[in-house]
Amino acid sequence: MKKVAVLVSGGGTNLQALIDAKNSGRLANCEFCGVISSKPGVFALERAKNAGIPSYVLDRKSFGADSEGYTDALLSLLKSIGAELVVLAGFLVIIGEKLIEAYPDKIINVHPSLIPSFCGDGFYGLKVHEAALARGVKVTGATVHFVNGITDGGRIILQKAVYVKDGDTPETLQRRVMEEAEWKILPEALEMLCNEVI
């Protein structure tokens, strides 16, 4: 049984996909040891509470420009709750090298595009879908990848394509990419990681 911490910054829809996968009997080798939010008051914390998962707030704003201090605090918290694997599920903080080195090939992230398209610094949330629509792509999707020192640059684990429809807005595309891709491949990738098949 692998102890998994999920890092969030918002509504927690990807967290819910993981909770649902666990409740449906998938993720049999996974135990959620904590949900850590970079912001207070986000709905992801409510989802964690409803699922009986311990939750913690490590407010990024309270650290100001001290990103190294935030990384140290995050690493300390992860160690204290016994996290063996870390999932970034809409975590809008760039994590520091020290944390990556402490968890080599044990941190995964879901990104709402088919990497290497529309990824890297500045590409997150709706911005990704706005860029995809502006470029006129016909296919987009989501990627789960390992986290390394380059934003969205780690080794790809899984990808799933989603077709862009005529009349799509960034919001409708974002929703469809979540439903058809992110919520499917994130639990699948975590299951692979927990079962040590990657």
Residues with a catalytic annotation lie at 111
- The SS3 call for residue 5 is strand
For the purposes of burial, counting CB atoms within 10 Å of the CB of 118, is it exposed (0-12), middle (13-18) or buried (19 or more)?
A: buried
Structure tokens at 132: 């995809």
**Residue for token digits 């020192």?**
149
Residue 26: DSSP 8-state: -
Structure tokens at 40: 């207070």
Phi-psi region of 167 (alpha: psi -120 to 50; beta: other; left: phi over 0): left
Rounded Cα distance between 74 and 97, Å, is 12
Rounded Cα distance between 71 and 168, Å, is 38
Rounded Cα distance between 49 and 141, Å, is 30
What are the two backbone dihedrals, phi and then psi, of residue 163, each rounded to the nearest 5 degrees? Answer: -80, 140
